[in-house]
Amino acid sequence: MLLTFLLSSIFYYFIATIEGNGWYAFGLMWCPGVASIITSLIVRKNLKGFGWGLGSGRLLAVSYFYPIIELFIVYGIIWYFGFGGFAGFESNFMTKLAFIPMILMALEGTYFAGRSAMGEEIGWRGYLVPKLLEKYTPNQVSIFVGLIWALWHFPIMVTGDYGNDTPLLYQLVCFTLMIVGVNFVYTWFRIKSKSLWTGVLLHTTGNLFIFHVFSDLTINTGNTPYYAGETGAVFALWGSLLIFVFLRFGWDWPTTTYRLLLKKKTSDK
C-alpha cells in the first residue's frame, strides 16, 4: 500500500496541476496494479495467486451486467422521486443508436474502460483481497479494502478533479459509504470466481455506464448533484444497504438466497 500511494502521488500532482490529459488518470489507475506486481515479485518471487484465470463464464457474464442493473436501480430512484430528471435515451450518444451499433459502441467503450480498470483490479482484487483473506473474514476484508479504495480517491476529490459540485465533506462521506458497500459485491465475486477478471468487468461497466451513459440521461433539477453520481446520497444509501445486508446475513447471502429460492421453486412444482 505504501508503494501504491507513493506511485499514485506522482499522478495526483499531474492531475491537479495539468488540465485535460486523460493519460494521467490512466497512469493513476495502474498504480495499485504496478505496486502489487512489484511487491509480489519481491516477496513471492513470482506472480502466482492473482487469479489470472478466467474462471466461471457465468460469473463473468453476471459481473459484466450487474453494475448496469445496479445503476438502473439507483438512477431509477433518482428519476422516480424527482431528485433528478430523466433526459430520455436520445440524450446519450450510445443509447440513441440502433441496437447493433449500440452494442458495438458498448464493446468499444468496454475495451477503453477495461484497460484502465484492469490496473486497479490487479492491485485490489488480484493481490490485496486474496492476501488479506489468508487471515481475515470476507466481511472484514471487504470493509478494509473498501476504506483503502475510498481513501485512495480522496486526493483527486480534494483537488476537485473527481466528484460533484457539492461540499467536499459531503462527497467524501457519500463516496466512502458507496464504495465500501459496492466492495462487498466485488469481494463476493472474487471469492466465488477465484478470478480477478470478475472485478475487472464490474469496475469496467460501472465506470463506463455511470460516467458515459447515466450522467447524460439525468437532468440537473437544482439539487441533483447531492443525490446522483458516486458522491451522491442515493448511491451512499445503496452502499449502506449492501453493508448492512452482508454484515447481517453473512458474506455468502447471495448464494444462500439463490439456493433457497431454487429449492422453493422446485418444491412448488
Read off the pLDDT of residues 47-65 as tens digits, 9 standing for 90 and up: 999 999 999 999 999 999 9
Evaluate if residue 194 carries a pLDDT over 70. yes
Nearest to 56 by CA among 190, 254, 232, 204: 190
Read off the pLDDT of residues 71-125 as tens digits, 9 standing for 90 and up: 999 999 999 999 999 999 999 999 999 999 999 999 999 999 999 999 999 999 9
What pLDDT is stored for residue 269 in this prediction? 58
Domain ranges for the chain, please list them: 51-268
Q: With cut-offs at 50, 70 and 90, classify the pLDDT of residue 35.
A: very high
The contacts found for 159-167 with CB under 8 angstroms, 24 or more apart, are 159/12, 159/15, 159/16, 161/15, 161/16, 163/229, 163/230, 163/231, 164/225, 164/226, 164/228, 164/229, 164/231, 164/232, 165/225, 166/225, 166/226, 166/231, 166/232
Q: With cut-offs at 50, 70 and 90, classify the pLDDT of residue 253.
A: confident
Evaluate if residue 20 carries a pLDDT over 90. no
Report yes or no: 43 and 207 within 8 Å, Cβ to Cβ: no
Tell me the C-alpha distance between 252 and 255, whole Å: 6
133-137 average pLDDT score:
96
160-188 average pLDDT score:
95
29-33 average pLDDT score:
97
What pLDDT is stored for residue 265 in this prediction? 60
Read off the pLDDT of residues 65-83 as tens digits, 9 standing for 90 and up: 999 999 999 999 999 999 9
Cβ neighbors of 204 (< 8 A, separation 6 or more) are 64, 110, 113, 114, 117
Q: With cut-offs at 50, 70 and 90, classify the pLDDT of residue 259.
A: confident
Task: Please give the share of the chain, as a percent, with pLDDT higher than 90.
Answer: 87
Q: Quickly tell me which residue has 501504491 as its cell.
A: 4
Q: Mean of the per-residue pLDDT values for the chain?
A: 93
Which range among 21-25, 29-33, 80-84, 145-149 shows the weakest confidence by mean pLDDT?
Answer: 21-25
